[in-house]
Amino acid sequence: MKLSARNKFIGKVTDVTRGAVNGIVKIELSNGQHITSSITLEAIDDLDITVGKEVTAIIKSTSVLIGRGQLTLSARNKLSGTIIDINRGAVNAIVKVELPSNVVISSSITLEAVDELDLTVGTEVTAVVKASEVLIMA
């Protein structure tokens, strides 16, 4: 299966917390960083998501925010890394951030944001993703 989403991360489920309607799934990536996903209980059951299972976390590049400096946010996923590429288009740019162990996450943000944050190759940043924006494929 091919997907248009640019960010696909294989990892192992380390925790599943069930709520009344949704659940929180924590996934450890090969580089030791963690991604948290908030999905329905129905999806958890349909995908048979259990601790130890290998899954793929999928994140659209338009769901990835880029921040600099010390960030205090409610978003569960804050992945620190270094910008390795900025592909500027007419309105938006694709910013690629290298995380530890050569894992790369792509973000689609406005050119205005690139300029306001003074983003350049080599800049240390944090890629931020809400847990509700992380899809899981099992």
Q: Kindly report, residue by residue over 86-129, the tens digit of the pLDDT.
A: 999 999 999 999 999 999 999 999 999 999 999 999 999 999 99
- Per DSSP, what are the bridge partners of residue 105? 97
* First-last CA distance in the chain: 12
What is the pLDDT, as a whole number, of residue 2? Answer: 85
2-6, 11-15, 23-27, 106-110: least confident range: 2-6
Q: Which CATH fold topology does 7-137 show?
A: OB fold (Dihydrolipoamide Acetyltransferase, E2P) (2.40.50)
Q: 8: which 2 tokens? A: 């696909």
Integer Cα distance of 119 and 88 in angstroms: 11
Report which residue type is found at 53: K
Which of 11, 7, 36, 6 minimizes the C-alpha distance to 23? 36
Q: Read off the pTM.
A: 0.94
